[in-house]
Structure 1
Amino acid sequence: MKVGNARRNMDPDFSELDAALDDRDLDGYLIDADSTEADQYYLSGFDAPDPFLTLYDGEVHLLFSRSLEYGRANKEARADTVERYVDFGYQSKVEEYGPREAVSRVIAAFLDSYDVESIAAPPRFPLSTADRLRDRGVTVESDDESVITELRATKTDEEIEHIETAQRANEAAMAAAEELLRESRTAAKGQLLYDGERLTSERIKEEIEVTLLGHGCALDETIVACGSDAADPHDRGSGPLRAGEPIIVDIFPQHKASKYHADMTRTFVVGEPDETVAEWYELTARAHAAALDAIEPGATGAEVHDAVCDVYEEAGQPTLRSDESTETGFIHSTGHGVGLDVHELPRVAPNGGVLEPGHVVTVEPGLYDPEVGGVRIEDFVVVTEDGYENLTEYPKELVV
């Protein structure tokens, strides 16, 4: 097993963005979005609920439609300048041209103030903004390579610390979920009871969410799926939980202060698992270990994925590699990047690219069949200069 400890220690490096702009002979990069768009938050370093513009021309410049965020942006944003529509004569332009035309003229004036006549923009850049800028003589080209998304794949020490903070909260939530399962008792027909009431997927999710809130995290959804529900990797799960059946708990919270995510899955059985579930769990643990053993800088996500498929296929289990139409067995990729988005680059999957120091990726093999249920084990690691470091500390035990 190749485990490394060296981490990267640097601020976000925009040199690749500079090179991409130079290669295309463009003056700048423009994003028009709120901070829930991860590329916007990464480039601007600013959290705002309403859309604003970030221009990168070797420096970072912000433009807000109103003054509401102006003071906070000056203190908090990763920006060399912070400006508002009013700074470019917005009201007089409204009176002369109307509100829609005024906005396009303000943005064009903003770009002109930095001698920017041509820009790259993300693939999901607002069409109306692009059209109006083109009408004002600005060249707007789509960044189909998603350069900033690619940049985000390599994490700094600070980003890794944010992810670890989210993961410690995640582990507290997983422990709370496991405790409810441990303290439950088995009633008629295998139904689980907690404090005299049916223990349901919804009750476990509530405990997870409350625990995460207490640790500064939130999540919109989580997975607590039992039995046949667990045979669908993205079934959120619902209804009563039962003894003897696999229960997949997959939690992927976002830390509210840093905006970074964590992601972890454990599979539990209350009581005695049947023989197939126990075999699947042992096999998945071996596939998980094989994937970890394949992770090192220079390896590809495809090679890590192949290591998992090798284990499963040698045991006679179908995979999408061996049968692209299979609906049972290993029916998803091995993993994905984690950061400002819970699913981001790099891919640990067929055609996954080269892993580099600073990449943070999940490792989550699993087996699925409606006749049995599902089993999945998920950790995530940071690729280091000489291997990887597992950022997940929570134990792996099938039987509760």
Structure 2
Amino acid sequence: MDPDLSAVDARLDALDADGYLLDADGTDPNQQYLSGFDAPDPFVTLYAGGTHLLFVRSLEFGRAKRDARADTVERFVDFAYDQRLEEHGRREAAAQVRAAFLRDHDVESVAVPPRFPTGTADALREQGIEVVVDHDDAIEQARAVKTDEEIEHVRAAQRANERAMAAAEDLIRGAGVDDEGRLVHEGEVLTSERVREEIEVTLLRDGCALDETIVACGADAADPHDQGSGPLLAEEPIILDIFPRDKATKYHADMTRTFLVGEPSETIEEWFELTDRARKAAIDAVEPGVTGAEVHDAVCDVYEDAGLPTLRSDGSTETGFIHTTGHGVGLAVHEQPSVSQRGGELEPGHVITIEPGLYDPDVGGVRIEDFLVVTEDGAENLTEYPVELTAE
């Protein structure tokens, strides 16, 4: 995949910088996007018309020459690092090498993203290289508009995500209930930890991985980012939020469903219906030219019309709809664009979540999340998983 870096070119012109510089390991989404390379240790990527990589060590050199999306791949030793080290010490030698690397590519000034190592920036300035911070993060903005290939990567991750969700749902729906109202599977109390294990194992078999998964029941579900722990209970909502990364492509998916075993309370049943209605209203609002703020408003309208608080109606509320409607998904699970009160205009190629929810520690929580790609004439829902609170 060759990324469209026209936004980066425009930012370099606006900042009057010769090149764009990254200093991060391969898990950094901007680094992955610009270099097309994944390495466990930090390396430097320079974009200045072409893309140029610089490694501290030779360990990744051969693989980078073969796999990276780069015009040149170089090492510290190519810029007399050993001699500089002996004469000046580690910090000064590294600074001189980075400056020599930049000047070798006719770069005297660089733009860097807001999250950039302070030590590297200071050292470059000491070497006479001008460093200007790109507070708008042009590479993240470029990442927000996905190519057809990227959308297929996200779609593939979502299919794996749905298989994991189905495995978890089968475990929950198939559970019995003991005398204390706890779910039981094969004679053992069913816990958040056990359901997470099922999700993670299923994803691993599909070539996906994840650092954390939310399986939150009852009061835990009232905190949108509580991972959940301990026994799962009947007649309490159970929120499952799964956001895996495909290990081959590095692209994420994201989906949330709320399940309940037994009979839901009148409040939970109402909340679920309202949240599904809010989800559909937001999806219907998504098209090119609409802002993320307008999509967020569609969700708030549903909740506020039902007399429930949102952060739009009450910025200090701790119950009701207490987060934004969504975010971009790609090489990071949370990236641009924002679907929130300050969300900007949506464009074809944007991949966004729609995840309304309601929360109260005295009731629990309900959240439903799909994610969509904005198309030329509307949007396509990349989520195929059904929305059902209780088993039919």
Match of 2:384 among 382, 389, 393: 393
The equivalent residue for 2:128 is: 137
Tell me the alpha carbon deviations over residues 237-292 of structure 1, each in whole angstroms, 9 at most, x when there is no partner. 11111111110000011111111111000000112111111111111111111000
Match of 2:236 among 231, 245, 248: 245
The equivalent residue for 2:159 is: 168
**1:1-400 pair list within 5 angstroms:** 11-400=2-391
CA distance in structure 2 between the aligned counterparts of 1:93 and 1:321, rounded to whole angstroms: 57
The equivalent residue for 1:3 is: none
Q: What SS does the corresponding residue of 2:180 show, helix, strand or coil?
A: helix
Q: Is the 8 A contact 1:226 1:237 kept in 2?
A: yes
CA distance in structure 2 between the aligned counterparts of 1:280 and 1:98, rounded to whole angstroms: 63
Q: What SS does the corresponding residue of 2:282 show, helix, strand or coil?
A: helix
The equivalent residue for 1:6 is: none
Q: Is the 8 A contact 1:335 1:349 kept in 2?
A: yes
Q: What SS does the corresponding residue of 2:349 show, helix, strand or coil?
A: coil
CA distance in structure 2 between the aligned counterparts of 1:365 and 1:255, rounded to whole angstroms: 25
- Unmatched tracts of structure 1, length 5 or more: 1-9
Q: Is the 8 A contact 2:7 2:141 kept in 1?
A: no
User: What's the RMSD between the two structures over aligned residues?
Assistant: 0.9
CA distance in structure 2 between the aligned counterparts of 1:38 and 1:222, rounded to whole angstroms: 20
Q: Is the 8 A contact 1:294 1:307 kept in 2?
A: yes
Q: Is the 8 A contact 2:26 2:38 kept in 1?
A: yes
Offset of residue 11 of structure 1? 3.6
Offset of residue 189 of structure 1? 2.7
CA distance in structure 1 between the aligned counterparts of 2:171 and 2:116, rounded to whole angstroms: 45
What one-letter code is carried by the residue in structure 1 that aligns with 2:318? E
Q: Is the 8 A contact 2:255 2:371 kept in 1?
A: yes
What one-letter code is carried by the residue in structure 2 that aligns with 1:171? E
Q: Is the 8 A contact 2:308 2:320 kept in 1?
A: yes
Moved more, 94-103 or 254-263: 94-103
What one-letter code is carried by the residue in structure 2 that aligns with 1:137? G
Tell me the alpha carbon deviations over residues 103-157 of structure 1, each in whole angstroms, 9 at most, x when there is no partner. 1111111111111111111122111111111111111111111111111111111
The equivalent residue for 1:7 is: none
Tell me the alpha carbon deviations over residues 347-387 of structure 1, each in whole angstroms, 9 at most, x when there is no partner. 00001000000000000001111111111100000000000
Q: What SS does the corresponding residue of 2:359 show, helix, strand or coil?
A: strand
Q: Is the 8 A contact 1:283 1:312 kept in 2?
A: yes
What one-letter code is carried by the residue in structure 1 that aligns with 2:258? T
Q: Is the 8 A contact 1:312 1:319 kept in 2?
A: yes
What one-letter code is carried by the residue in structure 2 that aligns with 1:373? G
Offset of residue 67 of structure 1? 1.0
Q: What SS does the corresponding residue of 1:193 show, helix, strand or coil?
A: strand
Q: What SS does the corresponding residue of 2:77 show, helix, strand or coil?
A: helix
Q: What SS does the corresponding residue of 1:111 show, helix, strand or coil?
A: helix
Q: Is the 8 A contact 1:11 1:156 kept in 2?
A: no
Offset of residue 165 of structure 1? 1.2
Pick 1 or 2: higher relative contact order, CA cutoff 8 A, min separation 6: 1
CA distance in structure 1 between the aligned counterparts of 2:27 and 2:85, rounded to whole angstroms: 29
CA distance in structure 1 between the aligned counterparts of 2:94 and 2:257, rounded to whole angstroms: 50
What one-letter code is carried by the residue in structure 1 that aligns with 2:320? G
Moved more, 316-325 or 380-389: 316-325
- Runs of at least 4 residues of structure 1 off by over 3 A? none
Offset of residue 186 of structure 1? 1.2
CA distance in structure 2 between the aligned counterparts of 1:11 and 1:293, rounded to whole angstroms: 32
CA distance in structure 1 between the aligned counterparts of 2:307 and 2:236, rounded to whole angstroms: 22
